[in-house]
Amino acid sequence: MQEKTKKLQKMKYSKSIWRFLPAYLFLAYSISIAAQNVWADMAFQVLRGFTTSSNTAPLHPDSALVDAGNGSFYGMTSFGGSNNNGTVFNITSAGVLTPIFRFNGFNGSGPLAVTLGNNGDLYGITPSGGPSFLGTLFEVTTNGVFKAFKTNGNFTAFFFFGGTNGSNPGGKLILGNDGNFYGTTRSGGSSSGNGTIYTTTTNGVFTVLWQFNGTNGSQPYAGLTLGNDGNFYGTTAYGGSNYSGVNTGNGTVFQVTTNGVLITLAFFDGTNGSTPMAGLALGSDKNFYGTTRLGGTFNLGTVFQIMTNGNLTTLLSFDGTNGSNPFGGLVQSVDGNFYGTTAFSIANGTNYGTVFRITTNGALTTLAYLNGTNGLHPFADMILGHDGNLYGAMDDVNAHTLLDGSCGNIFRLVQQPIAAIASQNGETVLSWTSFTNEVYRVEYKFLLNDTIWIPLITNTATGNATAFTNSFPNPPQGFYRIVLP
């Protein structure tokens, strides 16, 4: 069994806000904000590491989370659980992890994605397992009850892929406007075995919408994205105009309707990218954004924009120093920028990957160079949580353990608190923006060059604004900081 790791190395970031108290006090104060692994205005936090605490512990979270909207998230691990076949779990924004279902192999193995249905249940896919070992579709309640799934008029524990209807489903299911689910398989189909697009009702009525033939795409590794026009958009990792067999071709971008009419929007040719492993992100400008694992100027991957008319623009070519080989896709945050990860990087003395931000015109900021303990070769997409923070699963693309021996982690990118300091009646009052259930620690030191910060209070926020009053009368000049421990 392969494993993974989690750990966070602390790095200080400080932003000083100088405020002078009333002149008669002759006092100056500074407040600084510090966090673990902070870059620019975001802080990288590991919420929870996955360890071999028991024989059935969930291990290796390797797919995008689902926000339940109540301060908790659902996700999958590809290993751990019963006979190491993977699990479904719940995790709160405070990092409390609860496994809710364990696969046994026959009902699926190595789950990759989960989607929240309109009925509140979780729907997902496993790329392997089932009677034919070619993958399954499943439904499970949020309290872990595996529900019967109807297929071909019969109730079964699950729906399984058999090859002609597709095999090895990859990306997550997407809920259409009609209430049905849509997805892709990496291989299978009745003809060339280059993969399929399918739809299924919640009653298990399954329909193959499209079978790829290689020249119009091959092996869609990612799921679909619902466009504003009601159609679905996606990528294939291989195939296209230079297809000549399995694992050939640079990949495509396509549009498909709910009744199975497919249009190839763009062919990758290497110079504009190659081998997209992730799906597309719909931007607020109604364009789609994505990544390719290879291709571009340095053949280390790209970030691209594509319009619904097929006009494709390469926004950035990774050069290694700013990351390389992005397996995961992008997510747009409230600031209008997109966030993602790369699996590798040649900068900062490591090759463990990066976390980055990129604007819609291609300006990239590397937010983190992963160090092997806080992350290692990530490949899952991040999501935007209801609290405005970004959440993701950190797992090595080859299911290796992290350097501390852990088997992956759940992390988030947190917006830095905006802080203010004031004097009221001889007391120092600190206030800052926060989000519910986040833990903040206020620290103090007398001199700027002091190496020791004195903890004053640890506070769990109950809303979007938090304050602390240092009631020590007429305190001497000093420096405060707010820490995300």
Model's pTM, two decimal places? 0.85
Q: State residue 320's pLDDT score.
A: 95
Q: State residue 124's pLDDT score.
A: 92
Q: State residue 476's pLDDT score.
A: 62
Q: State residue 364's pLDDT score.
A: 97
Query: pLDDT averaged over the chain?
Result: 85
Q: State residue 80's pLDDT score.
A: 95
Backbone angles phi, psi at 263, to 5 degrees: -125, 125
Interatomic CA distance for residues 328 and 353, integer angstroms: 11
Residue 26 confidence (pLDDT) above 60: no
Among the listed residues 65, 48, 50, 57, the one whose alpha carbon sits nearest the alpha carbon of residue 4: 50
Backbone angles phi, psi at 27, to 5 degrees: -120, 140
Q: State residue 40's pLDDT score.
A: 42
- Residues β-bridged to residue 364: 358
Residue 28 confidence (pLDDT) above 50: no
Q: State residue 260's pLDDT score.
A: 97
Backbone angles phi, psi at 46, to 5 degrees: -90, 115
Q: State residue 452's pLDDT score.
A: 92
Give residue 445's pLDDT band: very low, low, confident or very high (50, 70, 90): confident
Interatomic CA distance for residues 84 and 14, integer angstroms: 43
Residue 202 confidence (pLDDT) above 90: no
How do residues 116-164 score in pLDDT, each as one tens digit? 999 999 999 999 988 889 999 999 999 998 886 555 444 455 677 888 8
Q: Which of 28-32, 230-234, 257-261, 402-406 has the lowest mean pLDDT?
A: 28-32
Residue 385 confidence (pLDDT) above 70: yes
Q: State residue 434's pLDDT score.
A: 82
- Bigger pLDDT: 231 vs 402: 231
Quick check: 18 and 28 in contact, CB under 8 A? yes
Q: State residue 39's pLDDT score.
A: 35
Give residue 42's pLDDT band: very low, low, confident or very high (50, 70, 90): confident
- Bigger pLDDT: 71 vs 8: 71
For 11, other C-beta atoms within 10 Å of its C-beta total 16
Q: State residue 4's pLDDT score.
A: 33
Give residue 2's pLDDT band: very low, low, confident or very high (50, 70, 90): very low
Q: State residue 170's pLDDT score.
A: 87
Percent of the chain with pLDDT over 90: 56
The residues, ordered by sequence, that sit 6+ positions from 450 with a Cβ below 8 Å of its Cβ are none
Backbone angles phi, psi at 82, to 5 degrees: -65, 120
Q: Which of 10-19, 228-237, 342-351 has the lowest mean pLDDT?
A: 10-19
- Bigger pLDDT: 248 vs 398: 248
Q: Which of 68-72, 89-93, 354-358, 405-409 has the lowest mean pLDDT?
A: 68-72
Quick check: 383 and 333 in contact, CB under 8 A? no
Q: State residue 150's pLDDT score.
A: 52
How do residues 91-106 score in pLDDT, each as one tens digit? 998 899 999 999 999 8
DSSP-derived secondary structure for 165-196:
TBEEE-SPPEE-TTS-EEEEEEEB-SSS-B-E
∠ CA 131-134-137, nearest 5°, is: 80
Domain annotation for the chain: domains and CATH numbers: 17-41+418-484 (2.60.40), 45-227+253-415 (2.120.10.30)
Q: Which of 107-111, 114-118, 201-205, 393-397 has the lowest mean pLDDT?
A: 201-205
Q: Which of 6-15, 204-213, 360-369, 434-443 has the lowest mean pLDDT?
A: 6-15
441-470 mean pLDDT: 88
Q: State residue 474's pLDDT score.
A: 62
Q: State residue 355's pLDDT score.
A: 94
How do residues 162-180 score in pLDDT, each as one tens digit? 888 999 998 899 999 999 9
- Residues β-bridged to residue 225: 233
How do residues 335-347 score in pLDDT, each as one tens digit? 999 999 999 998 7
Q: State residue 68's pLDDT score.
A: 92
Give residue 446's pLDDT band: very low, low, confident or very high (50, 70, 90): confident
Residue 1 confidence (pLDDT) above 80: no
Among the listed residues 171, 205, 213, the one whose alpha carbon sits nearest the alpha carbon of residue 189: 213
